[in-house]
Amino acid sequence: MSPPRTVTIFSPAKINLFLAVTGRRSDGYHDLVSVVAPLDFGDVLTAETGGDGLEARNWKAERGERRPEDGAQFSLVCDNSEVPVDGSNLVLKAAEAFAGATGWKKRVLFRLTKRIPVGSGMGGGSSNATAALLALNELGGANLGRVELAALAAGVGSDCPLFLEGGPVIMRGRGERIEPLHEAAARRLRGRVVLVFKPSIGVSTAWAYERIAAGAPQSYLPVVEAERRIASWVAGDADAAELLFNNLEPVVFGKFLALPVLLNFLRRRFGLASRMSGSGSACFALLPDEAHVQEIIAAIREAWGPACFVQTTAIAQRDATPRFTAL
Ligand code: C5P
């Protein structure tokens, strides 16, 4: 059977329910211990190879999308003009890494339908990169196994490997060591309804990590303590709310005051368990069944302005891989 010509793949957002930055490494990155879960909300990436339909110029004319670089093996169009479509985009970085590892020579056009806000700590770019690896592997006849894909993903970005799993994981190292969350614990997270919201400003991940390093060593949570907290939550039967932690919050909140002001208000007014995700600026709240969602959304828009991003979604229900539509 010849491999498919077009592959469409869902590229989920993530939230860090628990994020402990535990120390700085000799390579300049930080070690962390994090419980991360993919959401039902995300982007869609299509990869198309072969045939005349690959002429990027025609695509732009037909779809009204941005013009990709001419002549390159890989090109990218995106419906959101905030998203760079040059070599700095992780989709193209991942594609180059895939070509380097496999000798893949065909031209591929990626089309990205972007819904995850940029600079939000929801892993959009990393998720897109992993989706590109999975899409190319599918187009190329699935030559790479999980271990090789994970190694490629880790080389593209710290948050990429976690998206190879379809469910909640514990992430360690700088992000490359991934362990699926114990089934009984994962069940306490899957399907959990969450509200994600982000002000119009974004936070640079590199900046957030620089700031936590500047406050070292007090700003780090010792790795033993991070592991103890996760193990205790996993072994017990406490609600997801009891797991929430993020020690990047103090450094980000010190500059972006609108974040703690709103999170404190949501806790006081609605009793919501809420946290910042990753390095921000997106935050999330776990919604109880009886939550007054519209009232909560109105309060968020009141605090952060009508243009802020607000999305009701859920922690991904089932193993989301494979998540292809092949044409
Ligand atoms: O790996 P990625 O490109 O997503 O990371 C962006 C930046 O965030 C890195 O350049 C680094 O400064 C910081 N970072 C870190 N430790 C991590 C992940 C990211 O210091 N585990």
- Asked which of 107-116, 178-187, 317-326 is least confident by mean pLDDT, the reply is 317-326
Name the residue of 21, 22, 29, 277 whose CB sits within 8 Å of the most ligand 1 atoms, as the mutation to test its pocket.
Answer: 29
* Structural domains in the chain (count): 1
Ligand 1 centroid distance, CA of 106 (Å) = 31
Q: Is the CB of 128 under 6 A from ligand 1?
A: no
Which long-range CB contacts under 8 A does 76-79 form with residues at least 24 apart? Answer: 76/109, 76/110, 76/111, 76/112, 77/109, 77/110, 77/111, 77/112, 78/111, 78/112, 78/113, 78/114, 79/112, 79/113, 79/114
- Among 26, 47, 166, which Cα is nearest to 107's? 47
CATH (domain of 164):
3.30.230.10
Q: Is the CB of 48 under 6 A from ligand 1?
A: no
62 pLDDT band, cuts 50/70/90, is very low
Report pTM: 0.93
Ligand 1 centroid distance, CA of 206 (Å) = 6
**% of residues, the chain, pLDDT over 70:** 89
155 pLDDT band, cuts 50/70/90, is very high
CA 147 to chain centre: 20
Annotated catalytic residue, options 14, 93, 114, 198: 14
Q: Whose CA is nearest to atom 11 of ligand 1?
A: 206
Query: pLDDT, tens digit, for every residue of 88-100?
Result: 999 999 999 999 9
- Among 320, 319, 17, 315, which Cα is nearest to 191's? 315
Active-site residue flag, 93: no
1 pLDDT band, cuts 50/70/90, is very low
Active-site residue flag, 159: yes
Residue 322 has pLDDT above 60, yes or no: no
In terms of residue numbers, what domain contains 224? 1-327
- Among 205, 255, 146, 200, which Cα is nearest to 16's? 205
